[in-house]
Amino acid sequence: MNVWAKHRRCKAFICVFAGLLACLTGLLSAAASAEPVRILALGDSLTAGYGLPEPDAFTTRLEAALRAEGLDVTVINAGVSGDTSAGGRARLGWALSDKPHAIILELGANDGLRGLDPAETERNLDAILTQARAAGLAVLLTGMKAPPNLGREYGAEFDAIYPRLVEKHDVLFDPFFLEGVAARPELNQPDGIHPNAAGVEVIVGRMLPLVRELVGKLAGPAKKPL
């Protein structure tokens, strides 16, 4: 092989190597600048972690579970103890200032405890879902059951709210946030209403596949932490 042929081969090799190096640099730069997926958890005391130290709150434990699976996800705690669907609707705009990519909506428990009109609860939740979808957010709606002491008729009206909203807005659905925890003393705090740390673990474990699906609905997959 003459010197010119060797020169051409060397030059071609250098070009290919430079291209690969540029591609790798771009990928590393994109990974370094990628933001975590942000999930806004909009809810009441069940979301806020009432009666629990911060490390045992629902949002903290859910974020830890997602990160343990290699997903770079931040769960924003937008839970306010005592909040109703009307309160959540009123503060949604402020909550969205964190620029989340997805939302877990957990509201209605206090509406039921206070015996508020189910039609009003539905209007508030409908407005929240409408605004969230208009903002391009992926949504997981988690439902609640009416207290049994309010009667069968009220319970039927209240419990029907969530399936109707899911059908209307085509969002992911967890029928009952306290499934597997409600009415089990060993999983609740002394008030019999709010989960203890063990109860939160049950809730997170049950909801994890749905939240994983929620993350999967986003335009780009969550990145693994570096």
Question: Which residues does the annotation mark as catalytic?
Answer: 45, 191, 194
- Pair 108, 70: CB distance under 8 Å: no
Distance CA 20, CA 126 (A): 50
Instruction: Please identify which residue in the block is written with the tokens 């859910």.
Output: 62
Distance CA 192, CA 187 (A): 9
HEC states along 66-80? Answer: HHHCCCCEEEEEEEC
Please state the length of the chain.
Answer: 226
Q: Which two tokens stand for residue 7?
A: 């020169």
Q: What are phi and psi of 185, to 5 degrees?
A: -55, -35
Distance CA 68, CA 46 (A): 23
Dihedral angle sign, alpha carbons of residues 211, 82, 123, 77: negative
